[in-house]
Structure 1
Amino acid sequence: MRYRTPERRQTDKRGFRRKADAAAFAASVEVSKSMGAYVPASAGRVTVGDLSGPWLERRRGVVKPKTAVMDESAVRVHVLPRWGGVAVGDVRASAVQAWVSELVAGGAGSSTVQAAHGALRKILQDAVTDRQIVVNPAAGVRLPKVVRRRRTYLDVEQLARLAVCAGELGPVFLVLGWTGLRFGELAGLRVEDVDVLRRRLTVRRTVSEVAGRLVEGTPKTAQGIRSVPFPAFLAPVVGAQLAGKAPDREAFSSPLGGPLRGNYIRRRFLAPARALAGTAVERVQAAVGVATSARGPVYGEATVAAVRAWQARHGLAATGAVDVATWEALEAAEGLEGPALVLEEGARDFGALTLHDLRHTAASLAISSGANVKAVQTMLGHRSAAMTLDVYADLFPDDLDAVAGALDALGSATTSEIVGNMWAIRPVAV
C-alpha cells in the first residue's frame, strides 16, 4: 500500500493479508500525521548504542562532573552489554522489565539498578523526542525501592569524642558537624571565604573527587551559595586552620598538603576515628571489668559502679566518671587504647558513620537547640523549607499539647468571658 510521509515523500508498506487491514493502517497514518505524531518505521532502526554516545555528550554539558561519570559508568557497565546492538524500535517494555529483574537477581543494588534503568530510559526518551519511536518502552517499568540507610546523628559529646580521635583532622569533623556543610563545600572554601570575627563561612564553590581527579564546581542549588554561621567556641579552631595561608588558598587542607580528598579522609581518618570513638564505652567497660552480660553501648549505672571501684583500687578520685587521668591509668594498667577521652554517665557508643552523617548531625543539633525549619533550610542550603521538613521530619517535635497550651495562653480573660456568655446564651443541644 502506497502513502505519503509528512515530508510528502512517497513510500509503501506491504504484507497486509486483508484489504481492511491496509485501510486501517492508512487511516492510522493519516491520524498520526494530522496530530504531528507520525514516526516512520525506518527511524526505529537506529540502535541504543548509536544514541548512547551523543546522549552522554549532551549530559556532560548540563550535569555536574560526578554525575556525568556515573552516567558513563551505568551505560558502559549495564546498558550497552544488553541493549547496545538493539534497534530502539525493537525495545519492548516487557524486555526492559526482565532486564531490571535480571540485574536485581544478579546482586546489583537498588541504586545501581535505578541508575542503569534511568540511563536507558533517558536515551530512549531522546528517541521519542526525535521521532524515532512513538513511546518510551522503559517508562513505567517497576524498579526496586532504594533502601535508605539509617542516619547516624551524633550528640555533642560524641562529636567531640570523634574529633579527639581524628587527631589533626579533628577540626574538619567539628566544622562539618556544627555547620552542616557538605564535604565538597568545605573542601571548596578558601581563606577569603572565612570571616572568623563574624563567624561566617561563605560557600561559593565545591571541590569533588571524580575518577581520581579533583574537580571544582558550584553548589548543588542556587540556595547552596550561602553564608553559614559557626559557634563562637569554634572560632579559635577555625582561625588556626587559616594561619599563614594566602587568601586564595584552601581554608582546610589535607595533612598531605593541598585540597581535601574525600576518599583519603574517609579511609585514613574517619574510619579509624569512628572505630575508637564509637566503641569507647564498651572498651572502658571491658577495661574496668564490667561483666560481659552487663556491657552495652550506654555508660550506665553498672559502668559507673565498676569505674568507681577501679578508681578506688588505684588511688584515683572515685567519681565513677572517666577523666583524662583515669583514662591514662587504664591505658597503663589495662592496655586501653586510643587518645584520652572523657566519659560520664549517659555517654553512648555509636555505629557506622559517613561524612554526610556529620551534615545530618549539624541539622539535629540545630533543631534540638530550637532553630526553626527556615533557619535550618538556610544553614543547609536546601532548595526549600519543604525539602528540609521531608528530610528531617523525624527531628522536628510534634508538640500538639504545646500548641494547645500556647493558644490557651494567647486567649485573654475577656475572650474566655465572651465565650462563656455565648455558651450560656446559646446552649448546644446534645
Structure 2
Amino acid sequence: MKTDRSRQMLAEANQYLAGGVASSLRAAMKPTPLYAAGGKGARVYDVDGNEYIDYLLAYGPLILGHSHPLLNEKVYQAMQKGYTFGLQHEGEIALAKRLTEILPCADKVVFSGSGTEAVMMALRLARAYTGRQKVVRFHGHYHGWSDAIFTSFPSADMKSQAAGSAAGEAVPGTGGQSVNSLEDVILLPWNEPDVLERTLTERREEIAAVITEPIMCNSGCISPREGYLEAMRKLTEQYGIVLIFDEVITGFRLGLGGAHERFGITPDLMTMGKALAGGIALSAVAGKNEIMNLVAEGRVDHLGTLNGNTVSTAAAMAVLDELGRDNGAAYRQMERIAGQLAEGIRSLMKKYNVNGVVNQPGPVFHMMFTDQQEVAHFDQFGRRDAAKYGLFAELMLDEGILLRPNGLWYVSAVHGDKEAEETLKAVENVFAKRPEFTA
C-alpha cells in the first residue's frame, strides 16, 4: 500500500491545521492518517490510488454507503432552493412528523447539528423537568465531548485513557476541560442492576436523569443483560427520573424505530445522530410531550444557527425513505452481511488458533483479541489486547480493508456478498501470514 501522497498532505496540513486532522480520533490511524479522494457504495479511494472496502463509514453515519444516488439527488434539489435561511421551511415539518411516526418514544422532536449537541439538550431538558442536578452515566459509554458529560474514555484511537474512572471517579476526558464540569456526574458500572437500584434509591432526590447507550456500542458492542433495561425503566419511572437513551449510534441502525423499539422499552428522551442524515450533519432529541414542551414554554432555550437546515432535513428524509423501502429490506441485508462477517471471523479465529471475540448485536459489531471466552462486561472489555487489534487494522489496510483502530465495524446497506467474501479472505491472509496473532 502506497501512502506517499497521504503523508505529504499530512505534513502540509500540519502547517495550518492543528494536529493535521479535523478530529483527534483520525490521528490514530496507522501507518498514517489517510486522505480520501472519493467513495462509491461500500468502497473508498485515497489520494495514493488505493481502494478499500469501508467499514469505518465515517465513524458510523454512512448507513447508505458513499455517494448514494437518492441521497445525492435529494440534497442537490434542496441546495437549489437555498442551504439555510434562519427561517422555517417545509422540510422541518416533514422530518419532524416522520420521526414522531416511526420512533415509539417521540411525541415531539428538536433538531441540532451533532450528537454532542443532542446530549447537551437532553440533559438540560431533564434537569429543567425534574428540578434536580445529578446525572447517572456508565463506564465505557460515550455521550459526546461537552464538558458536562465527557469522561476519560478507553478507546484505542483516543489519547485519554480511563485511568481513575474504573474506581468510580469521573475523570475529565481532555486537557482544558473544567475541573468542576463533572461534579454532577454519578459514574456507575453498566449491566449491574443491584448497583443501579441502590444508587437510584439512595439518591433519588438528587438525580435528574439516567443516560445510557441501549447497547454498549462504543466499548465492545456489549448487549444489556436480560431484564437490565427493563429494571432501569421501572426504577426511573418509580423515582421520577428521566431516562435518556443515547441512540446516536443505534438510532436507525438497528431498525427505523431504533434500539428502544427493538427492545420494547420506551425512554423519556432519545438522542440520535450519525445515520440519521447519512453523512450530512444532523442530530435530534425526541421525547415525551411533557418534557419537550419545556422548549415551547421558553423554560429551556434551544439554539443553533444551522438547526434543521434544508440540506440536512432533505438528507434525513432520503435516508429514512431508503431504509424503509420494501418493508425494511435494507435492514435485512445489513443484518445478513454483518452476521456473515462476524461468523466468518469467528471461524477464522478458530481455524488459525487466534484468541478473540466478536460481539455482533446487529449491523454493527466489535472484534477483539482476548483470552476470554466472552466479553459481556466493561471490565472484560478493558482486558482485551487493544495494541494487537491496532496492528490488525493496519495490516488490513494492506489487504484493502478500512477499519477503525478500536475494533468497531459498521456495515452499510450497500455492503454485499462480494465485499464480505473479499473481507474474510483479507482476514485469513493476515492470520495466515502473521504468527503474532496465533495463540
The answer to whether the superposition gives a TM-score over 0.5 is no
Please identify which structure carries the higher helix content. Answer: 1
- The higher relative CO (CA closer than 8 Å, separation ≥ 6) is in 2
TM-score by length of 1: 0.23
TM (normalized to structure 2)? 0.22
**Which structure would you say has the larger Rg?**
1
